[in-house]
Structure formats: C-alpha cells, structure tokens
C-alpha cells in the first residue's frame, strides 16, 4: 500500500505567528506580504482587538489577501500557536544578553528550507514592545535584521515581507525564475558574431570613422562592449543590417 507523501515544501510548513498585535491594519498588511511570497498560515496570539481578522482596517490593508485572513487562527497562548512546530525563530531588533543563536534573515531562510522538514514558525512581537524575553529564550533562533543601527525599527509588515521574501528565495532554490525580464532569443554563434564585426568594420571604414592604417583599439573596444551584452542572433542581424545600410548609402555618394 502506497501512503500519500507529506508535502515538505517550506510554503506548506512555515507559519507566521504575530504576538499581541496592536493595529488591525498591520495584520492585513502582513497577510498581503505573506500571500505575495506564497505563504498562507497565519496565527495571532492575543491580538489587541477581538475582531482583528475581520476589522475594516485589516481587510483594507490585506488588499486581495483576504483569504489569508479568513483562514488565520486566533489563539490564547504562544504554546498553542507553536503546537507541532519543530523549529521556531523569533524576530527582534533588540539583542538579548541570553538568547538563542542569532541569524540574519538569509541564513535562517536557508536553514528552514534545507535542514528542516517539519513544521516551523517565525514569531513577530508587538509593534511597540516587541517580543518578551520569555518567548525569545524558548525559541531555537533569534533573527536580527541588519538594518541601520541608528534606526533599526521596521514596521511589522515590512519585517514579515523581508523574511517571507528570503524564505521564498531559499525554498525555490534552483527553481528560481530567470532574472532577465522580457523576450530572450537564440544566442548568436561565434562565427555569426565574427562576420558581424567584419561587416561593421567595413561600414566604419567607409564613413571614415575608422582609419584602417591607424585603427588604434576601436574594434577591440567594440568587441569588448558587445561581448558584455550576450548577443542574440536577431541582434546580430540588426547590426549587420545597419552596417549594410551604411555601405549602401556610402556607395551612392
């Protein structure tokens, strides 16, 4: 009998826990930050407002991520919020004398994605007071965002967005989308690029931009310039078309 496999993707295993959040708008903004990065499990521990998930500000700031609010849970204790978690990391701008190991966001994201296979959680504190020491010391890690030391306080949703982004990148790994935006054509062959350079050189000589008796380093510099672009076949064709037009016009003079 084949049993169904458990989905160990970080997108399914990671929960975001907000402790004693004061502003419903921040809860909505957190939901939006989570959804844009592909995460869905949100738990609130003793939010200030009992209607925190349905509050008008929360719904407005969620801006399309109302489904995250609708599936979120409100619990009465941190223990209930973290039930079933095998690794928990607290997020704080304030370092403690006695704290668990300290990680930067990227480091903790890689740990959660690669070394953990069970449920994990990121815990965020109250907007004004942060997390109490008793919660931090019981976590497996403390995440400190390396912000401006003169002003290191991030808005709650901003901190969630940053951590969610790093976790998304770590979870995608080699499946990350290509960084180039837009159309990508077929790469030009070396022989086609060489013919393009020769054609371009003829055109530059024809308009007296290049002196064949004293070429200096013009062509090597142009070759270095184009080599940085990763020329595509269509781009080579365009440049050869320009060179041909220059030669045609010059021959009619």
| Model confidence, pTM | 0.71
> Per-residue pLDDT tens for 207-245?
999 888 888 889 899 989 988 888 889 999 999 999 999
CATH architecture of 190-251: Orthogonal Bundle (1.10)
> Per-residue pLDDT tens for 154-164?
899 999 999 99
- DSSP lists the bridge partners of residue 122 as 16, 89
Q: Where in the chain is the domain with CATH 1.10.8.590?
A: 190-251
Residue 42 in this model has a pLDDT that exceeds 90:
yes
Model confidence at 65, pLDDT cuts 50, 70, 90, reads very high
- For the domain 10-175, what is the CATH code? 3.40.1280.10
R_g of the chain computed on alpha carbons: 28
DSSP string, 26-62: HHHHHHHHHHHTT--EEEEES-SSTTTTT-HHHHHHH
Reference 19, options 52, 65, 68, 67; nearest CA is: 52
Reference 200, options 214, 215, 182, 185; nearest CA is: 215
Euclidean distance between CA atoms 80 and 141, whole angstroms:
19
CA-based torsion, 130, 131, 136, 139: positive or negative: negative
């Amino acid at each position: 009998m084949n049993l169904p496999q458990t989905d160990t993707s970080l997108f399914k295993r990671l929960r975001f826990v907000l402790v004693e959040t004061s502003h419903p708008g921040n809860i909505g903004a957190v939901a939006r930050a989570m959804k844009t990065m592909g995460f869905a499990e949100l738990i609130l521990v003793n939010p200030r407002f009992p209607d925190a998930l349905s509050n008008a500000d929360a719904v407005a700031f969620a801006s399309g991520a109302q489904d995250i609010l609708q599936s979120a849970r409100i619990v009465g204790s941190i223990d209930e919020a973290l039930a079933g978690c095998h690794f928990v990391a607290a997020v704080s701008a304030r370092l403690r004398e006695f704290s668990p190991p300290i990680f930067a966001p990227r480091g903790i994201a890689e740990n959660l994605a690669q070394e953990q296979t069970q449920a994990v959680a990121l815990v965020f504190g109250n907007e004004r007071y942060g997390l109490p020491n008793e919660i931090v010391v019981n976590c497996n890690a403390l995440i400190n965002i390396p912000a401006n030391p003169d002003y290191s306080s991030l808005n709650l949703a901003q901190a969630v967005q940053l951590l969610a982004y790093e976790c998304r990148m770590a979870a995608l790994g080699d499946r990350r989308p290509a960084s180039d935006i837009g159309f990508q054509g077929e790469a030009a062959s070396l022989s086609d690029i060489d013919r393009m350079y020769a054609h371009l050189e003829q055109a530059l000589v024809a308009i007296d931009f290049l002196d064949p008796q004293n070429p200096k380093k013009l062509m090597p510099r142009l070759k270095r310039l184009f080599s940085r672009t990763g020329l595509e076949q269509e781009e080579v064709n365009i440049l050869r078309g320009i060179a041909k037009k220059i030669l045609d016009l010059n021959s009619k003079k």
